[in-house]
Structure 1
Amino acid sequence: MSRSFIRRLCGAATAAVLLGAFTVATPAQATSSNNAVKKLTKQVTLGGVSRHLVAFQAIASLSGGNRASGLPGYDRSADYVAALAKLAGYKVTRQPFSFTYCEDTGSSFRQIAPTPTTYVDQTDYDVLDCAGNGTANGEVVPVDVNLTPPRDSTSGCEASDFGPEVAGKIAIMQRGAAPGATCGFGLKVQNAEAAGAIGAIIFNQGNGTPEANPDRYGLFLGTLGGPVGIPAVSVSYETGAALVAAAQAGTVTMEISVDAISETRDTTNVIAESRWGDPNEVVMAGAHLDSEPDTAGINDNGTGSAAILEVALQMAKFKTKNKVRFAWWGAEESNLVGSTYYVANLPQAERDKIALYLNFDMIGSPNYTFGVYDGDDSAGTGAPAGPPGSAEIEAVFEGFFASRGEATAAADFTGRSDYGPFIAAGVGIPAGGLFTGAEVLKTPADVALWGGVAGAQYDPCYHDPCDSLTPERNGADAELYRQLRREYKLLGNVNTFALETNSDAIATAVATFAYDTSAIPPRTAAASARTAVAAPAAQDTHGSWLH
């Protein structure tokens, strides 16, 4: 971290938070791993984690309001993490890589005819990440959509879906893919562009039921995985179905306008490794450090990054049996680029040394749920079980929450975050972790378990500028946050109870496996060849990011 940057923080009265003295654990007794687990869990406090959130907010405030990879706020965040980890005694490395930086700096979406309608960004529609720059004005043409329940859809997945009538028009496609197949949003839009479409709309699939599968009905956020040449947006099932019905009954004219940036930029992962422990038995914990370009990312993912940083600092003097490696990933919001790059560039011999990977992405959502990744697929929904050993990781987390008298929800292994490259086909590293929810709406059943506001998102500021320590000042719904504060104690856009509880769960799990991985079965070739989860390039992040 540069001296000039530190001086700026001092001027903002935050240097004491950023670089102030921190306490570290005294060496744990090697004869009692249970004592070490309890000791570390006690030493990881809400105050310790929160000071890193204050640091991240200060960095964002001095960096254009964000901490996005490819921008100064991310580099400063990485400097902060690396400096503290190195000071604590870890071996710290910075792994550089390049990625495609995409950002939309402005947009509009409206129906010109037959019913003039102006849609609201991030309420009625969202620009698909890496959409093309420009304006598309034309007739809407439905492409192989299916509005009949169960609404199985491969809309736009094959070039043959597009007839000559698409040329010069706006293609409207439905989310979905054939069972076992990979068909990302990017492929749909690329096929539409190749067929001559001037713009694209992708609407949610509408499969399942709104109550059981709200993520398949509402507005979703997504990325195309790489630049395309036409503007493209996503909308909810309801909005999309209405446009399709109107287009099938007559002529619908829409206009999509996107101001977008798409270019190659450089960033880094930050890796901190303990100086003792068995180098052939590595326990990894990771969180993505980057935010979206228009937000400080205090919950997403300041919370996960801050928690594992504090765990690392407090664990620094614990002489663990196994080597512990902490990772702060870059460019997760650009489709898991940092973690994918890391795994892809590890020689097989080094992959084999990683006993397990723990992932923490959004662990303090204001309207939270206590999600634990469903390692054994006991919920029987969505993606299948994780690689062998994932169930044993889940059991450690479940045991922790049971000891606190807290209910948990099964978080599906969809590849939504940086565990994706670790569990992917051909890798097969067991994984687990925690997730308190993003854009999905909280249900009355959720409220019965964890309180909160039904009908509101788990994180009402997900990917919005209000994901900060001052959410209302940055555009949050003031009445909703008044409701949340009447029930919970919030630190900006963070639920302090969820954050504190999950930070303790992280400390418990990391310490447990740092001393004993005997519960994790040895990996076999069959485990490494797991094919239930698609390769990293086809994963999605935070709610249907790629497909």
Structure 2
Amino acid sequence: MFRQLGILALAATATFAQDVDNEGADVHAEFWKKPWASSKGLQHLVKEKSLLDCAQTLEDFAYATEGRNRLAGSKGHNDTVDFLYKELSKLNYYNVTLQPWSALIQESGDANFTLDGEKQSTSIFSYSPSGNATSPLVIVDNLGCEASDYPAELSGKIALISRGECEFGAKSVSAGLAGAVGAVIYNNVPGDLNGTLGVPSPDRPYVPTVGLSQEAGAAVIAKIQGGAEVIGELSTYSVIKETFTNNVLATTKGGDQDNILAVGAHSDSVAEGPGINDDGSGICGLLEVAKDLARFKTKNAVRFGWWSGEEEGLLGSTYYVATLSEPEAAKIKAYLNFDMIASPNYYYAIYDGDGSTFNLTGPPGSAELEHFFEDFYTKKGLNFTATEFDGRSDYGPFLDVGIASGGTFTGAEGIKTEEEAAQFGGEAGVPYDVNYHQAGDNVTNLALDAFEVNTKGIAAAVGTYSISFEGLNLNTTTVARRGAPAARLAKRWNKQLLKRNFDLQTARRRYADKKCGSKSHDYHLYK
């Protein structure tokens, strides 16, 4: 799961999608022989073993990769995309497409940080530049979201900044503009902090930036406010490269193509681990339901999307939404996102579409999607809670263009409360996923009961909304909710198209070589 949306400076390619062959009348005849999809019918087909087998396949891809991950553009991620494409294509039920794009991806990074000579538990923020600094720390006022928060005495020093409210990348940029030689962002909740600054922009560079726990940050602040000078020694190292990658899209051949239910998860992991809960669980949950749906016919079309580059700042989903024309965006009546659905110390959380808990309301229809999942858990005899609808995962770009959105989530680095432990079991005072963004996020990290339940939640929603959107208070046109309409998203990408030219003909040739049985295996344009 992407931790905080950074400053995006994306390098996009022209859209290239190659559909699987349409078998014509025979396909349609077979489609109409199938029974109608239903919530009950799809849920019945979900099997824990299938989910576990899929998760093991993703782990194998990661462990066969240098770095043991599925980072966007890596061998592990390329194999994930190949696997999804092949599994979906052989169903002959979907138009399966690859949507390539390119961006700067941090392949590796490391950091060391000491305070008065004592080594700290810290991590480098993705896209932080390499660098070294030894200097006193200076506390940044408030949350570091305004230029006025950065005091004059920060010049030549290391900025100590609280997490909260604005983007990590904005804090790093602001620290640099104030003359800081580095930035340390400390958590605003218990526990360590890691994240991404977002893809860097040449005209607003970052300074070396690391994360620090809330506890360590509070201790430093107490010392400084007590009159002591605290010396920090900061060292960061990162490798950032332009990478070609793909979204995978599978749209039912049947169903009303002017009324689409979109369902998504991200296909990549962080560099630090294989990403089997984050978001292999979402990958496999979607694939299981997509396979099962192929046994049924639908009245509405269903589009499954596996987005690359989520961990670098929702890059793949942003690119997808930005390249939709307004008429095409208007066909998507609802989007459901599933990012981390098998956390080991899980809770059952639903995106707060009606804003009743976190006071951030989704586009029309989002409230009803939240209520749908509330009813789902209630019928299972399970407790549920709300999670903030803050755009932290791939539903964010869909919110930006006014598409009704929802989904479920089992928790990341947040700490389970005593009340939640009473509601959902597990251990209070421990993260929902202790291996979040770490090497231990493998098959043994999964809560299989939550995995199966939440996949049945996907099945229930697909079984329901593939037949009818009745009950959703939907917009008839796509409108912006949070100030980033499709035109603005597209403009952000198009500016980059002027800077970097992608060879679309090469893309088509490589893909054609693969389809025709050539020995070339580079059709995904990863290199």
Coarse TM-score class (shorter-chain normalised): 0.7 to 0.9
Alignment-mate amino acid for residue 243 of structure 1: V
Moved more, 101-110 or 284-293: 101-110
**Candidates 77, 81, 85, aligned match of 2:80:** 77
Alignment-mate amino acid for residue 508 of structure 1: A
Q: Once the 2 structures are TM-superposed, how far is the Cα of residue 339 of structure 1 from its aligned partner?
A: 0.3
Whether the 8 Å contact between 1:370 and 1:409 is mirrored in structure 2 is: yes
Specify the alignment match of 1:411 in structure 2: 387
Whether the 8 Å contact between 2:99 and 2:246 is mirrored in structure 1 is: yes
**Candidates 183, 186, 193, aligned match of 1:200:** 183
Q: Does 1:252 align with 2:230?
A: yes
Specify the alignment match of 2:329 in structure 1: 351
**Candidates 271, 291, 296, aligned match of 2:274:** 296
Q: Does 1:50 align with 2:2?
A: no
Specify the alignment match of 1:315 in structure 2: 293
- Shift of the 462–28 alpha-carbon distance from structure 1 to 2, 3 Å rule, reads farther
- Shift of the 27–402 alpha-carbon distance from structure 1 to 2, 3 Å rule, reads farther
Alignment-mate amino acid for residue 74 of structure 2: L
**Structure 2: distance between partners of 1:266 and 1:346:** 20
Tell me, what secondary structure is at the counterpart of 2:469? coil
Specify the alignment match of 2:125 in structure 1: 128
Specify the alignment match of 1:505 in structure 2: 457
**Structure 1: distance between partners of 2:457 and 2:32:** 19
Tell me, what secondary structure is at the counterpart of 1:283? strand
Specify the alignment match of 1:222 in structure 2: 195
**Structure 2: distance between partners of 1:192 and 1:412:** 28
Whether the 8 Å contact between 2:251 and 2:303 is mirrored in structure 1 is: yes
**Candidates 376, 382, 387, aligned match of 2:354:** 376
Alignment-mate amino acid for residue 59 of structure 1: F
Q: Once the 2 structures are TM-superposed, how far is the Cα of residue 242 of structure 1 from its aligned partner?
A: 2.2
**Structure 1: distance between partners of 2:485 and 2:186:** 22
- Shift of the 494–31 alpha-carbon distance from structure 1 to 2, 3 Å rule, reads closer
Per-residue CA deviation, residues 142-173 of structure 1 (Å, 9 max, x unaligned), is 222xxxxxxxx342x33343344222211112
Per-residue CA deviation, residues 516-535 of structure 1 (Å, 9 max, x unaligned), is 1122223156x723238999
Moved more, 500-509 or 188-197: 188-197
Per-residue CA deviation, residues 325-373 of structure 1 (Å, 9 max, x unaligned), is 0000100000100000000110000000001001000000111101111
Alignment-mate amino acid for residue 203 of structure 1: Y
Q: Does 1:109 align with 2:109?
A: no
Report the identity percentage: 40
Specify the alignment match of 1:389 in structure 2: 365
Whether the 8 Å contact between 1:133 and 1:229 is mirrored in structure 2 is: no
Per-residue CA deviation, residues 202-232 of structure 1 (Å, 9 max, x unaligned), is 1234xxxxxxxxxx34433221112344211
Specify the alignment match of 1:422 in structure 2: 398
Whether the 8 Å contact between 2:169 and 2:206 is mirrored in structure 1 is: no
Map 1:30-45; keep pairs closer than 5 Å.
36-45=38-47
**Structure 2: distance between partners of 1:363 and 1:399:** 18
Structure with the greater relative contact order (CA < 8 A, sep ≥ 6): 1 or 2? 2
Q: Does 1:162 align with 2:166?
A: no
Whether the 8 Å contact between 1:366 and 1:494 is mirrored in structure 2 is: yes
Tell me, what secondary structure is at the counterpart of 1:280? strand
**Structure 1: distance between partners of 2:379 and 2:315:** 36
Whether the 8 Å contact between 1:103 and 1:129 is mirrored in structure 2 is: no
Specify the alignment match of 2:103 in structure 1: 99
Work out the number of aligned pairs and report it.
452
Moved more, 361-370 or 247-256: 247-256
TM-score normalized by structure 2? 0.82
Q: Once the 2 structures are TM-superposed, how far is the Cα of residue 107 of structure 1 from its aligned partner?
A: 1.7
- The unaligned stretches of length 5 or more in structure 1 are 1-25, 145-152, 178-182, 206-215, 470-491, 538-547
Q: Once the 2 structures are TM-superposed, how far is the Cα of residue 54 of structure 1 from its aligned partner?
A: 1.2
**Structure 2: distance between partners of 1:235 and 1:246:** 16
Q: Once the 2 structures are TM-superposed, how far is the Cα of residue 31 of structure 1 from its aligned partner?
A: 8.1
- Shift of the 462–255 alpha-carbon distance from structure 1 to 2, 3 Å rule, reads same
Whether the 8 Å contact between 1:438 and 1:457 is mirrored in structure 2 is: yes
Specify the alignment match of 2:3 in structure 1: none
**Structure 2: distance between partners of 1:449 and 1:244:** 36
**Candidates 428, 431, 446, aligned match of 1:494:** 446
- Shift of the 377–532 alpha-carbon distance from structure 1 to 2, 3 Å rule, reads farther
Q: Once the 2 structures are TM-superposed, how far is the Cα of residue 238 of structure 1 from its aligned partner?
A: 2.9
Q: Once the 2 structures are TM-superposed, how far is the Cα of residue 28 of structure 1 from its aligned partner?
A: 8.5
Specify the alignment match of 1:11 in structure 2: none
Q: Once the 2 structures are TM-superposed, how far is the Cα of residue 499 of structure 1 from its aligned partner?
A: 0.5
Specify the alignment match of 2:343 in structure 1: 365
**Structure 1: distance between partners of 2:77 and 2:95:** 21
**Candidates 405, 409, 422, aligned match of 1:435:** 409
Q: Does 1:266 align with 2:283?
A: no
Q: Once the 2 structures are TM-superposed, how far is the Cα of residue 188 of structure 1 from its aligned partner?
A: 1.4
Q: Does 1:189 align with 2:193?
A: no
TM-score normalized by structure 1? 0.79
Specify the alignment match of 2:315 in structure 1: 337
Whether the 8 Å contact between 1:104 and 1:127 is mirrored in structure 2 is: no
- Shift of the 458–29 alpha-carbon distance from structure 1 to 2, 3 Å rule, reads farther
- The unaligned stretches of length 5 or more in structure 2 are 1-29, 490-527
**Structure 2: distance between partners of 1:495 and 1:533:** 36
Tell me, what secondary structure is at the counterpart of 2:135? strand
- Shift of the 448–160 alpha-carbon distance from structure 1 to 2, 3 Å rule, reads closer
Q: Does 1:241 align with 2:221?
A: no
Specify the alignment match of 1:449 in structure 2: 423
**Candidates 522, 528, 547, aligned match of 2:474:** 522
Per-residue CA deviation, residues 122-141 of structure 1 (Å, 9 max, x unaligned), is xxx33222111021111111
**Structure 1: distance between partners of 2:62 and 2:81:** 12
**Structure 1: distance between partners of 2:110 and 2:385:** 37
Q: Once the 2 structures are TM-superposed, how far is the Cα of residue 200 of structure 1 from its aligned partner?
A: 0.6
Specify the alignment match of 2:6 in structure 1: none
Whether the 8 Å contact between 1:320 and 1:514 is mirrored in structure 2 is: yes
Whether the 8 Å contact between 1:103 and 1:130 is mirrored in structure 2 is: no
Map 1:270-285; keep pairs closer than 5 Å.
270-285=248-263
Q: Once the 2 structures are TM-superposed, how far is the Cα of residue 245 of structure 1 from its aligned partner?
A: 2.9
Alignment root-mean-square deviation, CA: 2.1
